Structure 1
Amino acid sequence: MAYEELLSVEIHNVNELIDFVKENSLKKFHVATNSMTFYRGQSNYDWHLEPAVYRNEKFQNESIYIKEFERLRPADFSYDNNFDKLVKMQHYGLPTRLLDITTNPLVALFFACQHNLDKDGAFYYFSTPTFWEDNWAVSFVTDYVFNPETCIQELVKRASERNRLPSVFLENDDAEKIIMHTLSVPAHAILPRLTNQRILQQSGGFLLFGMSITGIEVSKNLGTYGRKYIKLSKLDEGQEKLLCPVIKKIRIPAEYKKSIVEELDLLNINEGFLFPELEYQAKNIIRHV
């Protein structure tokens, strides 16, 4: 496990970024057969790696946001896959536990430089095992997001009935441990289906954030006596270093942001390319005319 803030390394132009990517792409940090490299750009170096629903006390409202969005627009969220639903909600601005990442380092560089021109930006490099949305652990976490449940026995039953928990865990009586571990994995890196043009243009992926287990209570109530209930909270800042096996963070000084954006524009990495919606196409036309 490693997390590095490369304090002596800065990115001043596109060429320096490419040199960094070339150097690091030659390294294999772990033996997982599905390991991949992802990137993320943030326009303020001091920001943490944190999804929108984990900011500003929104976590307690996560299920309310989701239920209300589904209630108001049921036809837009009628498909079965909860992960696809969450991606669509994220796309339209709902705070979710997804954090955007990309397999294209130039895209990450753009987002690190696009805004907050008076602040240093951050370029993140992740080397991590990668999952697809039909992985049982990803399905289980997203199912929890849409149907929160704190009773451990009920979570095991849910996993068993929906064939999401591999039978070997059930047979070995390790189901409760596996369930708690799965919910508390800091993040799963996921390659999504290309369900919208924006994901395609941005070579998008996601970190699906987990939670911290802050305690377990055994019920003494008559109707639920002996049942175990877990207390869950959002990840704290100290767990940021555990999100992926390898994270590297590089500073982009504020004074270089404008020139980097201009260089990226020459490579057609700009709002017009990354955001295919008409409003961004209009903005891009005005900017270039």
Structure 2
Amino acid sequence: MKHEDFATIKKCDSWQELCEKHDNFCLKKGKIWVFRGQKNAAWDLKTTFERLTDIVTDIVKRKNIPSFEFGLLRKFKREFSLYSKRIAKDDDLIEWFSLMQHYGTPTRLLDWTYSFYVATFFALEDIENENESAIWAIETKWLEHKLFKKCSSCKKLLRRDLNLQKKESLKTIINKLVVAKVNPYYVHERLSVQQGCFLFPGDTTQSFLDNLLGLAGTKKELKNNLIKFVVTEKKTEKRAILEDLFRMNITRTSLFPGIDGYAASLKVAAFILPETLKPGTEYREFIKGVVRKS
């Protein structure tokens, strides 16, 4: 299915145009948007678990996908204590899924952020990417309203437990074509600094998009609440955007605290601000006596 069939597409050829279109659509009173950056505008909205099941369809039948997911969950829960002192409550599946997502296990969770600028960074940080990038945006008040309408018999239960921490709440949407916005009660550092949240599809035997369409009811209604900002692939514009984000302190260093984030951030720094990477006296001392090529 083409993205323009179910999402409002906004092409942006500059940083200024991107910001203006974001402001026009996403700063309206009473609306709360969340964002997701993807480096290739042609990519669909897919969870890591959905991508995994696409690969193993030859050995895992569609009807067995739910039990396959819980097999992954069980394996992770049983051995997590070997690597971390932090243990989630056994029945808090959202927190367990969040931990799995954090450490790289495929899950049904799809990462989003409340920050348009963080999403823009994730869309553009791959400086080798030569494709148009995308920043997706979805309106969460609408999402919540549609969820309550779809699960009207459990509306009170869901209102009391929006993050689906209790099994009773979770069971109301499992195997239904719906999507819920969730967050674990105990957030880890990255989720906090990235202003992150998750979208949780109810039926893993169907695609994330099918769950969204099931919730919306029609492509037209989904299109009114789902935007795809398409960002130019031009290197000069990408550099300008990343430099502005750097000045806002939106970098791998700030979004992924620790040496891994800092080390990865130097690649973008070399792309946008090469003049800051001065070799100092170490290079002059090192190069002494080295024979140069004629």
TM-score, normalization by structure 1: 0.67
Question: 1:100–1:205: 8 Å Cα contact kept in structure 2?
Answer: yes
Question: Which aligned pairs between 1:10-29 and structure 2 lie closer than 5 A?
Answer: 10-27=11-28
* 2:201 and 2:211 in contact (8 A); partners too: no
What is the distance in 2 between the residues matched to 1:194 and 1:5? 34
Q: Aligned equivalents of 1:114 and 1:69: distance in 2? A: 30
Aligned length: 227
SS in 2 for 1:55: helix
1:46-125 maps to which residues of 2 (within 5 A)?
A: 46-57=42-53, 60=65, 61-74=68-81, 76-80=86-90, 81-115=92-126, 117-125=129-137
SS where residue 34 of structure 2 aligns? strand
Whether the 8 Å contact between 2:35 and 2:135 is mirrored in structure 1 is yes
Give unmatched runs, 5+ long, in structure 1. Answer: 30-34, 144-158, 166-177, 213-232
In structure 1, give the amino acid aligned to 2:109: L
Q: Could you say what secondary structure the match of 1:122 adopts?
A: strand
Q: Give the SS at the match of 2:249.
A: coil
Relative to 1, partners in 2 of residues 1:5 and 1:43: Cα closer, same or farther, differing over 3 Å? same
Report what 1:249 is aligned to: 228
Say whether the 8 Å CA contact 2:163–2:184 is kept in structure 1: no
Counterpart pick for 1:284 among 265, 268, 277: 265
Identity %: 24
> How many angstroms apart in 1 are the aligned matches of 2:98 and 2:199?
11
Tell me which residue corresponds to 1:43. Answer: 39
Flag the structure with higher strand content. 1
The structure with more radius of gyration: 2
Q: Give, in whole Å, the separation in 2 of the partners of 1:89 and 1:78.
A: 11
- Residue number in structure 1 paired with 2:194: 202
**Could you tell me the TM-score, scaled by structure 2's length?**
0.66
Aligned partner of 1:138 in structure 2 is 164
Is 1:5 aligned with 2:8? yes
Q: String of CA shifts for 1:114-134, please: whole Å, max 9, x gaps.
A: 226111111111112367997
